[in-house]
Amino acid sequence: MTHTPTERPARSASGAVVPVLAFAGIVVAVMQTLLVPVIKDLPQLLDTSPSNATWVLTSTLLSGAVATPIMGRLGDLYGKRRMLIASLAVMVAGALVSALTSTLLPMIVGRTLQGFAMGAIPLG
Tens digits of residue pLDDT in 57-91 = 899 999 999 999 999 899 999 998 899 889 889 98
Amino acid at 115: G
Average pLDDT over all residues of the chain: 85
Q: What is the dihedral of CA 34, 30, 114, 23, to 10 degrees?
A: 160
1-24 confidence digits (pLDDT tens): 555 556 665 555 667 777 877 887
Predicted TM-score (pTM) of the model is 0.78
Q: What are phi and psi of 2, to 5 degrees?
A: -105, 150
